[in-house]
Structure 1
Amino acid sequence: MPSSSRTTHYHRFIPSEEVQAVEAWVFQPVGEGATEAPGPAEEAPAPASLPPEAVEDIRQQAYAEGFEQGRQAGAQEARDTLEKQFQRQSRELADRVAQVVNQAQQHFDRLEHELADQLLELACDIARQVVRRELTLSMDPLRAVVQEALSLAIDDGRPITLRLHPEDAALLHQADWEPGSTLRIQIQPDNHIARGGCVVEHAQGAVDARVEKRWARAVANLGLEAPWQPGEDADV
């Protein structure tokens, strides 16, 4: 290394302008039997290429594995799709069945209600015929109606008019009917009053015991409006 014209003390670094050549320092083994430093590592030999048959086998195996994976994925997707369709169709079918059942139940309820009304009307028709027959065959129902109507009349000492059907009036005369009280009663036949009923008129008002009235009150308790004479309006 050339010396400088000036005295310079270097502690740790050497200026680059004073460096002329650099050589790597290699530590050698100390003592006898020392060997030379190993040279650069030799490159590994390139792997030998596979024969075409092996390459074809690998390719076919990879193809088969990929095909199988794709088949399984496609099958799973198809199963999922079918499952969703089945669930949707099941819900739609259940909704339709529920709708049909609901409509059928409403229809049955309506039929039941209509049938109940028809049965009540039929029962009323039968009862009407039975009552009419009893009123024509026996005087007991008429006597009971007349007695009840007279018991509601106010006795003020003046005559009371008993209006009833002419045939019923004739029956009372033939039976020598007596009211069993001190009331002065005048029997007056009236074609406008149906058989089995009567109207008691007194000074303070009247007691309407016609069959139509009593029948209308009876069927009203059943929730019906069935007149005594078909075609007439019910009058309660």
Structure 2
Amino acid sequence: MRSSNRAHPYQRFIPREEVQAVQAWTFAPVDEATLAAQRAEAEARERAARAATEQQLQEAQARGYTEGFEQGRQTGAQEMREALEAPLREQAAEQARRLAAVLASAEAELESLRARVADELLALACDLARQVVRRELAQPLEPLRAAVTEALGELGEEAQPATLRLHPDDLALLQPVLDELLAGRRVQPVADERLSRGGCVLESPLGVVDATIERRWARALATLGRSEPWQPAAAGQETGDG
């Protein structure tokens, strides 16, 4: 009697309708010659891979060497340029400092020269003005008349009576026109030998109008920033006596 525990047919076979895809499986030969050929082929591929890897390493080393050499060359060139330029920059800075010092000294000398020239020009102008005034005083009537007229012009009614002091020679020179100059004014002319010729002093209860040649000369020079006396020789003599 057969056993009832017989395997179901589906346990040994797969129905066609349940098969989705089928691929043939071919068993490779396993003889020694084939295996040796496979091993040789694998070793060849491995050697080729090692050779390629070594080639890549060599190329990478070569590139690294080239790049490193170029970078080192540029760095060295930069350092050399900086080493060469440093003393040149220092030398240029020193030359610039020296040039600035020379220019400053030249400017100071030029300014001093300008001051000396200006002072000499003013002194020359004063000498020329002194000569012009002296030449005008050689014919003293008009300059003296102008000085007296200017002094009287500052005399108001409340400042009278007043005294007009003149050098004796000037008083004699003005005598013909004195009445005309003093018309309507209570002014007494007085000779005073202490005064220089060419000027006058008008004294009144309200003060003194100094119209002497020395005073007018000092006022004229004050506008130029100078204080030279009318008679330099006399001033030098007074300084020496003092």
The alignment's TM-score, normalised by the length of structure 1, stands at 0.61
Partner residue of 2:211?
Answer: 209
Please report how far the alpha carbon of residue 114 of structure 1 lies from its aligned counterpart in structure 2 after TM superposition: 2.0
Amino acid at match of 1:229: Q
How many Å apart are 1:214 and its aligned residue?
A: 1.6
SS at match of 2:203: strand
C-alpha distance in 2 between matches for 1:172 and 1:150 = 14
Q: 2:96 is matched with which residue? A: 94
What does residue 152 of structure 2 align with?
150
More helix by share: 2
On the 8 A contact 1:153/1:206 being kept in 2, the answer is: no
1:225, CA displacement in angstroms? 2.1
* Secondary structure of 1:206 counterpart: strand
The match for 1:17 is none
Task: State how many pairs are aligned.
Answer: 176
SS where residue 188 of structure 1 aligns?
strand
Partner letter of residue 215 of structure 1?
Answer: W
SS state of the match for residue 163, structure 1? strand
CA distance, structure 2, for counterparts of residue 94 and residue 139 of structure 1: 67
How far has the Cα of 1:187 moved from its partner? 2.3
Aligned pairs for 1:21-100 (under 5 A) are 34-35=31-32, 79-100=81-102
Aligned residue number for residue 132 of structure 1: 134
Q: Structure 1 vs Structure 2: percent identity of aligned residues?
A: 47
Query: What residue is the counterpart of 1:122 in the other structure?
Result: 124
The whole-number CA distance in structure 2 between the counterparts of 1:194 and 1:31 is 152
* Alpha-carbon shift at residue 227 of structure 1 (Å): 2.4
Q: 1:156 to 1:222 in 2, by over 3 A?
A: closer
Structure 2: which 5+ runs fail to align?
1-26, 48-71
For each residue in 1:95-143, what CA deviation from the matched residue of structure 2 results, as whole angstroms up to 9, or x when unmatched?
2112211210121012102211221121012102211221232310100
Inter-partner Cα distance in structure 2 for 1:77 and 1:156 = 95
Does structure 1 conserve the Cα–Cα contact (< 8 Å) formed by 2:159 and 2:204? Answer: no
Aligned equivalent of 1:185: 187
Per-residue CA deviations over 1:32-76 (Å, capped at 9, x if unaligned) read 7621766x999x9xxxxxxxxxxxxxxxxxxxxxxxxx9999887
Partner residue in 1 for 2:15: none
**Structure 1: distance between partners of 2:223 and 2:159:** 37
Contact 1:154 1:202 in 2 (8 A): no
Structure 1: segments with no counterpart, 5+ residues: 1-29, 45-69
Q: Residue 109 of structure 1 aligns to which amino acid in structure 2?
A: E
Q: Distance in 2 between matches of 1:162 and 1:195?
A: 14
1:48 corresponds in structure 2 to: none
Aligned 8 A contact 2:161 2:187 in 1: yes
Taking only aligned residues, the RMSD between alpha carbons, in angstroms, comes to 3.5
